[in-house]
Amino acid sequence: MGQVRKVALITGSAKGLGRMTALVLADQGYDIVVNYRSNDDDAKELQLAIEHKGRSCMIYKANIADLKELRPMFETIEREWGGIDVLINNAGPFIRERRFFVDYASEEIQYIMNGNLISVMELDRLVLPYMRSKKWGRIIHFGFGHAAEARGWPHRAVYAAAKVGLVSFTKTLAVEEAGQGITVNMICPGDIYGLNKEKMIVEVANEIDKESLRGRPGTGEDIARVIAFLCLAESDFITGNIMDISGGLDPIRTLSEIQKKEP
């Protein structure tokens, strides 16, 4: 008998942590659906890299924060590849400019909440029937360090609210679906910057990061290795967990700490 195909959909995976996760899961034997919003060239380059590994790769352009684009993407994957065995909800809108909540526009609040919470719930709802039919599935959500503690995060009010809500949803869904052979976990990356998101651990082993308690910078491989482990068949006893992968660094700064660093 031939090997049973397993399909992994990774949102926002043309670049960064999603890209590294796609490559690692391809090495683990998954066919990959690369979802992206705008980077056509990066998506095509990643598709070639995955196919070079001997796996199939579909690229699908859709803005996950636009709920109208989710079902067409899901239906295309279902029609062409049968269904989704692993869902990695990596994508999530983030406004880098620090600002008080009162300064957010209503449209920005809706965009961040949709992209980080509502669209994740909707995608989960779409993939669950197929996973239930096979009595097997893996769902990974993305949070931020210490999200499970529901602490305040000055200047990040909307993003933090969405992710903290996702913590509760992760734990609830994990309990509801455990008997179906489906695990649901959340990964909370630490501060991983720029090109380091697409690097292997060995590439930064000798670099110094003064902010990191570990001493070296974090990499995409640090995150992807944990995700790959959670996607193993033997990891079926791990569900409902919120996992900080931060080298011990607390990414949340108090308002006074932020103001001290600003010129």
Give 163-216 pLDDT, tens digit per residue: 999 999 999 999 999 999 999 999 999 888 888 888 887 888 777 777 766 778
Give 163-173 pLDDT, tens digit per residue: 999 999 999 99
Contacts 24+ apart (CB under 8 A), 170-174: 170/141, 170/240, 170/242, 171/240, 171/242, 173/124, 173/139, 174/239, 174/240, 174/241
Side chain identity, residue 73: M
Domains of the chain: 7-261 (3.40.50.720)
| Global pTM value | 0.91
Coil, strand or helix at 118: helix
- ∠ at Cα 89 (88, 93), nearest 5°? 150
What is the C-alpha separation between 144 and 124, in angstroms, rounded? 19
Average pLDDT estimate for 9-38: 96
Which parts of the chain are beta strand (E)?
7-10, 31-36, 57-61, 86-89, 137-142, 182-189, 242-245
Average pLDDT score, the chain: 90
What is the C-alpha separation between 84 and 125, in angstroms, rounded? 12
State residue 142 phi and psi, 5-degree precision.
-115, 135
Q: Which pair of structure tokens corresponds to residue 253?
A: 């700064």
